[in-house]
Amino acid sequence: MRYAMVIDTLKCVGCSDCVVACQTENNVPIGYCRDWITEVVNGAYPNVELELKSERCNHCDTAPCVRCCPTGASHIVDGGIVLVTGNDCIGCGACIESCPYDARFQHPDGYVDKCTFCHHRLKDGQLPACVSVCPTKCMYFGDLDNPNSEVSQLLKNRKHKTLAPEAGTNPHVFYLI
Amino acid sequence: MQEELFISGRNIPNIDPYLQVWHWPISVYLFVGGLAAGLLFFAAIVTVMGKADVYKAAVKNAVIIAPIALTLGLMALLYDLTHKIWFWKLYTTVRIESPMSWGAWVLMFVTPLSFLWVFSYYSDIFEKFEGKYKFLEKFKFLDTFEKFLIKNRLYMAYALIPLTIVLGIYTGILLSAFNARPLWNNAILGPLFLTSGLSTAAATIILFAKSKKEKHFFSKIDIYLIIIELGLITHMIMGFYAGSQVQLEAVQLLVGGDFTLMFFGFVVILGLIIPLIMEIAEYIGYKIPAAIPALLVIMGGLIFRFVMVEAGQLTRYLY
């Protein structure tokens, strides 16, 4: 079992529904977010390219946050999901500094917080909140180890990229381009 | 031309424009940690060499700074934690891959040793008080304990040499272990911070030294250390220029960027080159108060930690 998320940048319109859904589902404190939208504009008019995408923790295979954590609060669970145990976290910030995606933040309660791939929903067989609400259905979630899963098929047939692969983190959020 | 915009959640004040989670306490800690490591290192090495009678400030007077510095450093570290009540979790786990974990464990050994070391010189440093306060005589066990420590001073010195080197290097490795911050992510940072820590420690000993011979000896050591440090800084900058795009962009902060004045003006010129010239001049025989270059070196060391911690957090991977 290896969970992965695939996001179609050609279908994303940048509506931020995923962001709001996440904040609601996970009770994210006001002023913070676990996922966010970026808009990248390449070139100058009239030759302009625009790319919209929803970003979050990449649940890396070789997660630098897990390596740097001095207490083991950051850890990888079944399915390759990187989680933080709040009461093991001392709030030192090492994981925040180590993340090339700046996907972590310090919760007002002190511990470090980030995307969990909605681990609590997966247990009930539901999709992550962001995936379930996407109005253009540009987000896909599933098991990479299963060659017949939707995400495996998409990655097999479509051109895709990951973010900052040169950081050596082996991220598991893929972007169709 | 590439332009990146965050159009949602990320343009919120608590997270953007960049994640700066390490503030001044970290810089202060890196400085006092290196300083304490250097002071204890010199005290230990002088003791092992059997020169404790010659270099009195190194083994006695200046070392008083070490436990004070370590205590302040640990308080600064604790202050910067956001989940403070769980700090003890550091000592329920040993994680070899995490520099912060083994740094915490090294501090666990060095801090008590620094107190014991200073205590072993208690009656030497405070000889004025001897016999002055009658109530002190009630605490006879302290005398026995001190004698025990004096007997084992050499063993403490043997233990301190490797521990302080690890502590000194650790202050640099703590930063260099993060490949997400390209300015920190270079292997020279550990040796560089160690050298800088030793150099500030030598400068502190110069401030405390009373005999001319000791001042001279540690000036000479400081001269060597500053030259090594300048070499390592050159090496670091060259390493960035030979690096990847992210490192090229990172080094621009130091060379021709926001931190150029702080780095080259206050750290390299005022904190290294000018004290180097002054110390060499003094060594040759010109009359220069030894405290001036010493204070400049200490100030330069402190600013260097601030520059590296602040600038490092501005650098990131671009994608």
Candidate from A36, A68, A86 with C-beta closest to B178: A68
Q: Are strands A3-8 and A173-176 parallel, antiparallel or unpaired?
A: parallel
The rounded distance, in Å, linking the Cα atoms of A11 and B31 is 51
Give the C-alpha separation, A22 to A128, whole Å: 8
Structural domains in chain B, CATH included, are: 24-312 (1.20.1630.10)
CA angle A62, A68, A70 (to 5 degrees): 135
| A81-84 and A105-106 beta bridge pairing | unpaired
Query: Is residue B146 within 8 angstroms of chain A, CB to CB?
Result: no
**Whole-angstrom Cα distance, residue A32 to residue B19?**
12
Closest chain A C-alpha to B34 CA, distance in angstroms: 19
Of A35, A39, A97, the CB nearest to B5: A39
**Which parts of chain B register pLDDT below 70?**
1-19, 125-139
B49 has a chain A CB within 8 A of its CB: no
- Chain B positions in Cβ-Cβ contact with residue A93 (cut-off 8 Å): 21-22, 80, 82
Do the Cβ atoms of A166 and B21 come within 8 Å? no
Given this model, what pLDDT does residue B8 score? 45
The segments of chain A whose pLDDT lies below 70 read none
Nearest chain A residue to B102, by CA: A70
Taking an 8 Å cut-off on Cβ atoms, the answer to whether B4 and A44 are in contact is: no
The pLDDT of residue B35 is 96
Supply the pLDDT for residue B121.
85
Cα distances from B174 to residues B92, B215, B221, B239, B244, in angstroms, run 20, 32, 26, 19, 22
Q: How far from the centroid of its chain's Cα atoms is residue A78's Cα?
A: 16
At B126 the pLDDT is 66
Report chain B residues whose CB lies below 8 A from the CB of A36.
Answer: 6, 8-10
3-state SS of A23-64 is HHHCCCCCCCCCCEEEEEEECCCCCCEEEEEEECCCCCCCCH
Q: How far is A152 from chain B (nearest CA, A)?
A: 24
User: Nearest 5°: phi and psi at A83?
Assistant: -125, 160
> Residue B212 class from Cβ within 10 Å (0-12 exposed, 13-18 middle, 19+ buried)?
exposed
**ipTM here:** 0.87
Determine the pLDDT at residue A120.
93
pLDDT value of residue A83? 95
Minimum-distance CB partner of B8 among A37, A43, A67: A37
| Closest residue in A to B20 (Cα–Cα) | A97
Q: For the domain A3-176, what is the CATH code?
A: 3.30.70.20
- Could you read off the pLDDT of A77-121 as tens digits, one per residue? 999 999 999 999 999 999 999 999 888 988 989 899 999 999 999
Cis before B112 (ω within 30): no
pLDDT of residue A119: 93
Instruction: Determine contact, residues A146/A154, Cβ cutoff 8 Å.
Output: no
Say which DSSP state B269 is in.
I
Interface test with A, best of B16, B98, B308 (most A CBs within 10 A): B98
Burial degree of B178 (CB within 10 A; 0-12, 13-18, 19+):
buried
State the pTM of this model: 0.90
